[in-house]
Amino acid sequence: MTYSGYGSLAVVIPVYNEEAVVREFHARLSATLDGIECLRTTVVYVNDGSNDHTLGILLALRQQDPRIAIVNLSRNFGKEIALSAGLDHADADAVIVIDADLQDPPELIPEFLRLWQAGNDVVYGQRVSRRGETRLKKATAYLFYRVIQSLSRVHIPEDTGDFRLLSRRAVEALRSLREQHRYMKGLFSWIGYSQVALRYERAPRSAGASKFNYPRLWAFALEGITSFSITPLKIATYVGLLIAALAFIGAALVFYKALVYGDPVRGYPSLMVANLFLSGVQLIGIGVLGEYLGRMFNESKNRPLYFVDEHIPAGRADEPRTLAIIVPDAGSTTGLDHEARPAVRIGGGS
């Protein structure tokens, strides 16, 4: 398929301890990008404080492929922050976000570009299957998406990850959102604009081990819920009102039985059970409130999202390495006007 025009594409890949798979990933990504004509391509690897040989492998790959840019963060900030750092360093008409574990196939990039050419600002990959995952993980993922859909006013498509294409104005909108607690799937949806799904089969992890164990997935789920809903606070209020009403009814029944039937009030066991129950409910409510207060406290510090230990831009393989500490302008909202989409030629066909 042939198009006219010229533009730019950046591929952002956050990596953390991916030495086992990053070479194979880049080989497949490079082969895909080689088949896309009429687009200047840049590959932005964000090293999120890896403590294996990931950074060394990336440096070696850059000697072979000058399209590679490397953003080496000063420590491990977490995937959501690393992804944000990659978007901050991606200057292109379209930006692809993808993981390096090869569960999301880079060969789908031309399909993302076609849907972008059709006028969509966000093209998100939606999994039709999750091969290689346990039944427990599939079940908890299913439950999480249903819960967050019912609690949040922002529609977050189910069975989606970070694998997606973003237009320039979508990236600029995301850059303007600088909160510390970042649930990127929610932010991708919150910005709005024209969004469309690209359904695909997700492959098992090619090599290495997943960095998300069940405790981290639980924390990630809480992050998503508290970032995009205050419903837990309302639930705590409603539970408190319900228990207060039940306590009032129970007290009325006790007094009624004592006055009418002379039934002695057996206090100690029932009192202990009631106290323990109410104490548990109060602690849950305090915990929910504390979660939101803690988020407010962290935001009030107004700290930068991250620091860059080293930034190696794309260019000639023999260019010197540069050190940089980059704090993007939090108030920048430029580029939000709808931009024309440059045309591309995929696969050299006509």
**What local confidence, expressed as pLDDT, does residue 85 receive?**
92
Sequence-ordered list of residues with C-beta below 8 angstroms from that of 310, at least 6 positions apart, any chain = 70, 72, 321, 322, 323, 324
Same domain, 168 and 156: yes
Same domain, 20 and 138: yes
**What local confidence, expressed as pLDDT, does residue 69 receive?**
93
| Residue 150, domain CATH | 3.90.550.10
Q: Could you tell me if 156 and 185 are in contact, meaning their C-beta atoms sit under 8 angstroms apart?
A: yes
**What local confidence, expressed as pLDDT, does residue 20 receive?**
87
The set of long-range contacts for 215-222, using a CB threshold of 8 Å and a minimum separation of 24, is 217/137, 217/140, 220/183, 221/144, 221/148, 222/291
Whether residue 221 lies inside any domain: the answer is no
Same domain, 257 and 193: no
Domain count for the chain, please give it.
Answer: 2
**What local confidence, expressed as pLDDT, does residue 24 receive?**
92
Give the single-character DSSP code of 302.
Answer: -
268-300 vs 231-260: helix crossing angle, rounded to 10: 160
Q: Determine phi and psi for 42, rounding to 5 degrees.
A: -130, 140
Whether residue 20 lies inside any domain: the answer is yes
Question: Hunting for tokens 């930006």 — which residue is that?
Answer: 95
CA–CA separation, 203 and 205 (whole Å): 6
Which of 269, 285, 300 terminates a domain? The answer is: 300
Whether residue 218 lies inside any domain: the answer is no
Same domain, 181 and 290: no
Question: For 7-73, where are the alpha helices, taking DSSP H only?
Answer: 22-34, 54-64
Same domain, 25 and 60: yes
Q: What is the pLDDT along the chain (350 residues), one digit of tens a residue?
A: 333 344 899 999 999 998 888 999 999 999 999 888 778 889 999 999 899 899 999 999 998 899 999 999 999 988 889 999 999 999 899 999 999 888 889 999 999 999 998 889 999 998 887 665 667 766 766 676 676 666 667 777 877 888 999 999 999 999 988 887 788 888 888 888 889 999 888 876 655 555 555 566 556 566 656 666 666 766 767 777 777 677 777 767 767 776 777 666 666 566 766 776 777 777 777 777 777 777 777 777 778 888 999 898 887 544 544 444 334 444 443 343 445 555 555 554 43
Same domain, 308 and 295: no
**What local confidence, expressed as pLDDT, does residue 2 receive?**
37
Same domain, 163 and 286: no
CA dihedral 143, 147, 148, 154 (to 10 degrees): 120
Whether residue 1 lies inside any domain: the answer is no
Whether residue 241 lies inside any domain: the answer is yes
Whether residue 219 lies inside any domain: the answer is no
**What local confidence, expressed as pLDDT, does residue 350 receive?**
39
Handedness of CA 159, 161, 165, 167 (dihedral sign): positive
Same domain, 168 and 238: no
Same domain, 192 and 284: no
Same domain, 145 and 193: yes
Residue 151 domain boundaries: 7-212+304-346
**What local confidence, expressed as pLDDT, does residue 269 receive?**
60
Same domain, 166 and 121: yes
Whether residue 296 lies inside any domain: the answer is yes
